[in-house]
Chains A and B, each alone.
Chain A
Amino acid sequence: MEYFIERASSYAADIDLVILVVAILGGFWFFVAQGVLFYFIFKYRRRPGQKAQYITGEKKEEMKWIHIPHNLILICDVVIIVLAIKVWYGVKQDLPPAQETVRIVGQQWSWTFIHPGKDGLIDTEDDIAVVDELRLKKDTLYHYKLESKDVLHSFSVPVFRLKQDAVPGRVITGWFKPTKIGSYDIQCAEMCGIGHGIMGSRLHVESDEDHNRWLEQTSRG
């Protein structure tokens, strides 16, 4: 997965592991099935004087060719289910204690990010609201409080492997922990009207010093 896109959150590697396991198990069955299919197509092509066999597929020894792969696939499914649920639990169900909290508000067609000011708390006077730019400290565990003012939006950060729809009338809480310094795309992944295609923001993950310098500058400004 890292070949396609960077990882920048604490759980990105877990999600990539699920993808890898599905790719290996699914890929195995895919190549087995395609291999057998192409082999049959080649082997049993029409040749003069050769009649097809009469097989009902309803006898026990014939059915085993369906039942054995059937049971093996069931086992693979169970492996995938267990792993997927385990990772899902960590990303979406579990809510580890926050070090800081940001408020994210979607509207047609921009994101507004309300960062905590120097006191480290939101919903206080020194909050810093920025349109289309989110600044986070590396290795800090954030809670996000996601809202929408009008239609459905979806807060999507590919490098975090995170996506969550914003629903008007609700505040949805989740978490992330950035692990890599850099600037990345934030998308809106839910169709939200004619400006959906311009509803992009930038995420800046920075060191504590850089973040504090930005806080200083912004509060002074």
Chain B
Amino acid sequence: MSSNAAAGHGDHHEVSFWQKYIFSVDHKVIGMQYLFTGMFMALIGGFFVYVFRMQLAFPGQEVLGFGTVSPAQYNALVTNHGTIMIFWVAMPVLIAALGNFLIPLMIGCDDMVFPRLNRLSYQIFLLSALIIIGSLFVPGGGFGGAWTAYPPLSANSQYSLTPLGSILWVVAVALEFVAFLIGGINFVTTTMNSRAPGMKMFDIPMIVWMIVIASILFMASVGPLIAGAVMLLFDQTMAIGFFDPAKGGDPVLWQHLFWFFGHPEVYVVLLPAMGIVAEVMCTFARKKLFGYKTVIYTALGTAILSFFVWAHHQFVSGIDPRMANIFTVTTLLISIPVAEMLFVYIATLYGGSIQFSTAMLFALAFLVEFLIGGVTGIFLGSSAADIYFHDTYFVLAHFHYTFVPIAIISVFAALYYWFPKMFGRMMNETWGKIHFWGTVIPFNFIFIPLFILGTSGQHRRIYSYENFPDLATPDMQRLRVIATTSLIVMLVFQVPFLINFFYSMFKGKKAGNNPWNSNTLEWVAPSPPPHGNFAEMPEVYRGPYEYSVPGRESDYWPQNEKP
């Protein structure tokens, strides 16, 4: 099938800019559309966090570039920061951008099996992004009921005071899910059907495996939440009362539907990040991945277990207290495959020859920081400790120690690593390293103070702590100022990245096909790959991580090189 399609690509004809970049069905262009949309949404999410962190550090004062923050605005900013960063930044960049760009290149085919579905996926996604942005400007303001959108607050405008904002929020989120369902079908089908001749299941590069497992996980878990979103929409617009106790409904039902998806979602974004780190680490340590199959099995184990942990978000939400015991057991058990995966990665470094490129630094930072996020999760999975920590800044700091490594640090590793393939030019390494240290150091100075605040009892989503005498102490305020200052430093250090990124795109050093001497198939294609990807469709003779094989002159052995 791919050879037929490749022949089709042979008859090149000039296409308009419009066809080439806007309504393209080429997987690389769609990947770039997702990447740039995701980066743009990250700027919005970053601006939101700047505004509300300023409000927390300097309550009531005017925020440069925004003005004073009202409680309603504060809630809308917090809510949409979370929503945007997860659904419009982490998901599109980690799954859709990398999946679209990398899967056909890494498995050696010319495009996705359903290119038009792929285009539809992005178009729906773009629509959902426009709706979520638009929802902030409607009368009444954006939805402010937290990204988890618990009813009755989210279901009833009499309580939320955002009649239009909450409806648009639900519509946007539901559309985004539809976009990713369509994309997920494509990733799984393409990987199963269009691999280059000779590529067996265990020759597939880890990131492709991870995106496939994540897509299956997403598709299997999102159904209940799409149903939930429709129910919520009915409650909002027609007052049906699925979640309204006065009409026989139950607000806690939403929490089950939400977290049945919401917790697997954590692993939906974690797995691709682990995949990125595997690719980058093997290349820059010149090492074979330690226990390739172990990584796949632990990923599958994590994915399956993740369906049975959701109620640890609801220990104190009014569920039967006996249920908490079961979910404590499953939640702590999931620490085992995840820890094992991290050990495998650490073991991969053993006996390596590590080159500290910017991509490698970000990959190593992922392991260092994600470990903090993982260990602090144990506190929250232990039901008794969670009674205290639930809904405090400890939770917030914990999941930022997972999501920032996942959606920011690993994504930077991916961008520095695959930039030469994406744009055919190299990024500047010196500026890359400045960007690296300027991102990772302030990151820790944001969230370590927040761990301390959470442990001292500070609860989440509060506009100003002046109303809580125990939390309004000068010591605690000082920690809030440290966190906000560090955030601003971290945001400022993204400027060199953006300049480096866009400057290198046009003026960087020419990259060549394989600048990192890497094994996987994407490095066989020209940089940037043309429509149809490969001049000659590759064949595969070995696994993806045959680095430093004894008895060979060169320390790498591309998958397509004839033995």
Contact = CB atoms under 8 A, between A and B. Distances in A.
Given A52-B285, A167-B251, A88 B145 contact: no
Given A33-B346, A162-B387, A66 B469 contact: no
Interface stretch (A98-106, A123-131, A168-176): A168-176
B352 A52 contact: yes
Interface stretch (A21-29, A112-120, A137-145, A208-216): A21-29
A77 B336 contact: yes
Nearest to A151: B153
Contact of B152 (A22, A84, A152): A152
Contact of A34 (B150, B250, B371): B371
Query: What interface size band does chain B fall in?
Result: 35 or more
Contacts, number: 287
Contacts of A56: 288, 290-292
Given A22-B385, A36-B346, A52-B285, A193 B339 contact: no
A150 B152 contact: yes
Contacts of B388: 15, 19, 158, 161, 163
Interface string B394-431: 00000000000000000000000000000000000000
Interface string A176-210: 00000000110101111111111010100000000
14 contacts: A23-B379, A37-B364, A44-B352, A73-B336, A151-B153, A158-B457, A167-B251, A170-B245, A185-B468, A193-B144, A194-B72, A194-B161, A196-B71, A196-B462
B63 interface: no
Interface stretch (B86-94, B183-191, B315-323): B315-323
A34 B72 CA distance: 42
Contacts of A55: 287-288, 290, 350-351
Contacts of B376: 26
Interface of A: 1, 4-5, 14-15, 18-19, 22-23, 25-27, 29-30, 33-34, 36-37, 40-41, 44-47, 50-58, 62-63, 65-66, 69-70, 73-74, 77, 80-81, 83-89, 91-93, 108, 150-152, 154, 156, 158-159, 161-170, 172, 184-185, 187, 189-198, 200, 202
Contacts of B161: 193-194
Interface in B485-510: none
A70 B340 contact: yes
Contacts of B152: 150-152, 168
B378 interface: yes
A19 B455 CA distance: 10
